[in-house]
């Protein structure tokens, strides 16, 4: 039986762009992250952050989980916020 695709909404918080990524429930989170970078035409860099919009949870920490299991426990809406590094007062 074919699984229904899951849709991940990725917001690029650096420039306001939005990308929708369809993935198989059995796909790994890492695969969706790679697809997001490709859609945004970016290379991963030190300091990048990727958070679940609803919880603030770090998506990178779940790279090795399958998307369906990740969604069920950590980010039900599958809306992610990408932002690159930023400097501040202590740097």
Q: Among residues 63 and 84, whose Cβ is nearest to other proteins?
A: 84
- Shortest CB 25 distance to other proteins, Å: 26
Strand order of the β-sheet with 6-12 is 18-23, 6-12, 79-83, 49-52
Q: Among residues 54 and 69, whose Cβ is nearest to other proteins?
A: 54
Cα(first)–Cα(last) distance of the chain, in Å?
Answer: 52
By the criterion CB under 8 A, which residues form the site for other proteins?
A: 11-18, 45-47, 56, 81, 83-91
- Shortest CB 47 distance to other proteins, Å: 5
Q: Among residues 26 and 38, whose Cβ is nearest to other proteins?
A: 38
Distance CA 29, CA 69 (A): 10
- Shortest CB 85 distance to other proteins, Å: 4
Distance CA 30, CA 34 (A): 6
Phi, psi of 21 (to 5 degrees): -120, 125
């Amino acid at each position: 039986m074919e699984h229904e695709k899951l849709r991940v909404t990725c917001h690029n918080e650096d420039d306001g762009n939005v990308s929708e990524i369809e993935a198989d429930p059995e796909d790994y989170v890492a695969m969706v992250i790679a697809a997001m970078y490709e859609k945004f035409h970016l290379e991963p860099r030190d300091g990048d952050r990727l958070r679940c919009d609803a919880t603030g949870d770090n998506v990178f920490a779940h790279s090795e989980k399958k998307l369906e299991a990740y969604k069920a426990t950590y980010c039900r809406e599958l809306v992610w916020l990408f932002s690159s590094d930023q400097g501040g007062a202590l740097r």
